Homo-oligomer: A and B are copies of this chain.
């Protein structure tokens, strides 16, 4: 138990305050929405004042960006852990898909990353964040599959973006209460449809 009001180096103070602010903001931004969360509430939860917030972040949006970045990284980490490079191309894609859907079940993550994120930061900024984290592995997996002739050759950029958006939408639907099996089945069908050799997967395909 270290002394609370002991002397701390400036570096430590900055790091701690920033971490407290991001943690408090993350909690509130996932419980409520970006618009419904005010900076007074955030700083109270973090145990600092608004002066500290505006000293470390340019504005409320910059704090939000820091939260999104951290959360996107957490999701990417869970995916990477679930799909090691030892797996074969298609298996890695499937494992990564399931890991993504599982990661997005953390409450509030879909709103943070899929609703508020694009609206507040813009699609371009969100693309940059995604490319730094989650989308990178997806894209590498797709390129690898295409190189191995396991998949129809298509523009990698576009294919990555469109598949990623389908995953995003699946995560939103599942959180809203839709059938996870249905959405998973469609996602797999979309992926398998891109394999030239395999006409269709023999999985359970009900029309409901």
Q: Which residues of A contact B (CB under 8 A)?
A: 33-35, 115-116, 118-120, 122-124, 127, 146, 152-159, 161-166, 168-170, 172-173, 176, 178-179, 182-183, 185-187, 189-190, 192-194, 196-197, 199-200, 205-208
Contacts and interface: CB of A to CB of B under 8 A. Distances in A.
Contact of A155 (B182, B196, B197): B182
A45 B123 CA distance: 28
Contact of A158 (B158, B161, B183): B183
A115 B114 CA distance: 9
A77 to B, nearest CB: 24
A158 B118 CA distance: 22
A200 B155 CA distance: 15
Given A115-B118, A165-B165, A194-B189, A154 B207 contact: yes
Nearest to A199: B196
Given A116-B119, A158-B179, A153 B207 contact: yes
Given A116-B119, A193-B193, A196-B199, A158 B176 contact: no
Contacts of A168: 165
